[in-house]
Amino acid sequence: MPLSTVLAQFLASVHPYDTLSDGDLSGLAQVCTSVELAEGETVFDVGDAIAHLDIIVSGEVEIEDETHVQLSLLGPRNSFGERALLRGGPSQRKAVATQPTHLIRVPADVFHALIAAHPKVARFFDRRRPARVDAKDLTVLPVDQLMSRGPVTCTPDTPIRTAAQLMAQRHISSICVTAPDGFRGIVTVRDMNGKVVATGADSSAPVAQIMTPDPLTLPPHALGMDVLHMMMERSIGHVPIVEDGRLLGIVTQTDLTRFQAMSSADMVRRVAEARDAQAMARVTAEIPALLAQLVGTGTRHEVITRLITDIADTVTRCLLALAEDALGAPPVRYLWLACGSQGRREQTGVSDQDNCLILSDDVTDAHMPYFADLAKMVCDGLNTCGYVYCPGDMMATTPRWCQPLSVWRGYFEGWIAKPNPEAQMLASVMFDLRPIGGEASLFDDLQAETLAKAARNSIFTAHMVANSLKHAPPLGLLRGLATIRSGEHRNMLDLKHNGVVPIVDLGRVYALQGQLTEVNTRARIEAAQRTGGLSATGGADLLEAYDLIATMRLEHQAGQVKAGAAPDNYLSPATLSDFERSHLRDAFVVVKTMQSAVGAGKGALG
């Protein structure tokens, strides 16, 4: 069998080349070469010009950065070298065969021609963020992002009375009728009124007698506008979503109204109008649905988390106002600050509370009970609204975190002067402080002084760098990803602690080294690029990695919300396609590369 045929057969089993036509695949195989490497042979080194893309047929290739830190160990069907080809310039990595290895080599000009001619191949290697979609645009929104999943159903022989009772109990305006062979029909409140109540029909008769059989339906790939047009044209208020005879969900007029009305601005308004924490909680309970909607319409991750955090900020300020109404005017100036994900404006569907109080130095012991009561009212209210108490007591209700400005200044000076493990942990948290309510000027000088002192203390900076490397990206041998080995989340990836957190830590280090006042992670990386603390290419790579990991985390949470589950940060790699898994691995490799650069004192790695 000709070599080109053998290569074509192998490439046909590897994504994205499996998307090519037989003719294109054959043409590609004819211009590729087959390369055999001995154990220990170097494919390319740091600084080498890259003239080809390599695809592993058998064997194993280790990828190292310039400090000889292993980034990944690649096996069959993985490719490498594309980053240097796409960005131009010399390689920043070293590739070595760790055992006898067979490669398929794609020349650089062929690779570039391939991605230019084939959008699916280009998309596989393109790590840029997708364009944003208007979150309210029903013309482009798929129905499966809009429908209510798991609609209430009954069988055709269910008594009419039972179906009516079920609708009343669930506060719904329709019930779908299904049988083992699939979807049969629908019964609405209008049917109950017109066919039962108005005519005096027997309520013990089977619901099949009053249902609308074989009603108008739409498939899940239809658009929201299709639903709206069908409802307007046919004067119906319920559209079942059916595929291959199987009921997947339903869209009602209420769903459309809720979708078009739901926005972070509307939720902020309703929180501001709420009279107590319970009323606010009814609004914040909608945050998971808002997250799922925003993810489904392609909104960028940093916009989603900013909008969700804005709601938390409003809740906090309204709780502060309620506390002041109950306790009276504060005896001295104070400032409520958030840290953690709220401080960075990076809240998702899973958030606890992290906060503290800075008090004016005019405060006396007699004033402290007022602020203890204020802190308790606000923290209790946040917990009621779903922002659960911090497991580590990093809250204003803890006396240590409700102190005068001079004490806070002493805290930071002590942490910088003696960076023991506790100091590193606390400093990492407190470097993410952001004023929420009260007198913001209490923080201005403290932030500037602390950044200046921290940047000048090389020992403290070194400890903070070391602390930032404790969360490692989950790179391993199995398809390049290392999962949790035991416990409840065995065989899963922790997209928070091993995905987003390592980048958050890097962003904090860049802010410390450059005395940057930005708190948001993406803003810190961009500021580090602008000020020279991070090279343009290094920053671009890290931003791409961050975007991909953070987006995948939100997509995972949105999927759980749609399935009726509580969102978390644990993702099974088995649920990912080869495309997603490859890109996620590449993103983790970038993060590890940047960690290695920071650890080696090369923060401006290009």
What pLDDT sits at residue 128?
Answer: 58
- pLDDT grade, residue 605 (50/70/90)? very low
The angle subtended at Cα 578 by Cα 587 and Cα 542, nearest 5°, is: 10
| Distance from C-alpha of 136 to C-alpha of 225, rounded to nearest angstrom | 11
Cα 69 to Cα 597: distance, rounded to the nearest angstrom: 10
Q: If DSSP codes are grouped into helix, strand and coil, which group holds residue 275?
A: coil
CA-closest candidate to residue 46, choices 98, 90, 106, 89: 90
pLDDT at 198: 87
Q: What is the pLDDT of residue 262?
A: 63
Which position has the token pair 């044209």? 233
The residue to which tokens 């059989």 are assigned: 213
State the sign of the Cα–Cα–Cα–Cα dihedral 383, 290, 308, 320. negative
State what percent of residues in the chain have pLDDT above 70: 95
- pLDDT score for 139: 59
pLDDT tens column, 67-92: 676 767 788 888 888 888 887 778 88
Closest CA to 295 of 312, 307, 282: 307
pTM of the model: 0.72
Q: Where exactly does CATH 3.10.580.10 map onto the chain?
A: 143-250
The pLDDT tens digits for 232-242 are 777 888 999 99
Q: What is the pLDDT of residue 508?
A: 93
199: Cβ–Cβ under 8 A, 6 or more apart, which residues?
A: none
pLDDT digits (tens, 9 = 90+) for 396-405: 999 999 999 9
Q: Quick one: which H or E segment has residue 37?
A: strand 33-37
The mean pLDDT value for 175-194 works out to 94
For residue 105, give Cα distances in angstroms to 53, 72, 81, 212, 419: 6, 20, 10, 61, 50
pLDDT at 396: 97
126 token code pair: 């393109």
Report the pLDDT value the prediction gives residue 69, as an integer from 0 to 100.
67
Strand order in the sheet with 402-404: 402-404, 355-359, 334-338, 434-438
Task: Tell me the pLDDT of the chain averaged across its residues.
Answer: 88
Task: Give the tokens for residue 438.
Answer: 């009260």
- Architecture of domain 469-599 in CATH? Up-down Bundle (1.20)
Answer yes or no: is pLDDT of 258 > 80. Answer: no
List alpha helices for 160-249, DSSP H: 160-170, 189-192, 224-234
DSSP state letters, 444-508: HHHHHHHHHHHHH-HHHHHHHHHHHTSS-----SGGG-----SSTTTT-EETIIIIIHHHHHHHH
Q: Is the pLDDT of residue 555 over 60?
A: yes
Residue 65 has pLDDT above 80, yes or no: no
pLDDT beyond 90 at 260: no
Architecture of the 143-250 domain:
Roll (3.10)
Domain 264-451 has CATH 3.30.460.10: yes
The listed CATH number (3.40.50.1370, 3.40.640.10, 2.60.120.10, 3.40.50.800) that belongs to domain 3-125: 2.60.120.10
Q: Which of 372, 358, 364, 509 is nearest to 437 (CA)?
A: 358
Q: What is the pLDDT of residues 265-305, one digit of tens each?
A: 778 888 989 999 999 999 999 999 899 988 887 788 998 99
Strand locations in 532-598 (E): 570-571
What residues does CATH 3.30.460.10 cover in the chain? 264-451
Domain with CATH 2.60.120.10 in the chain: 3-125
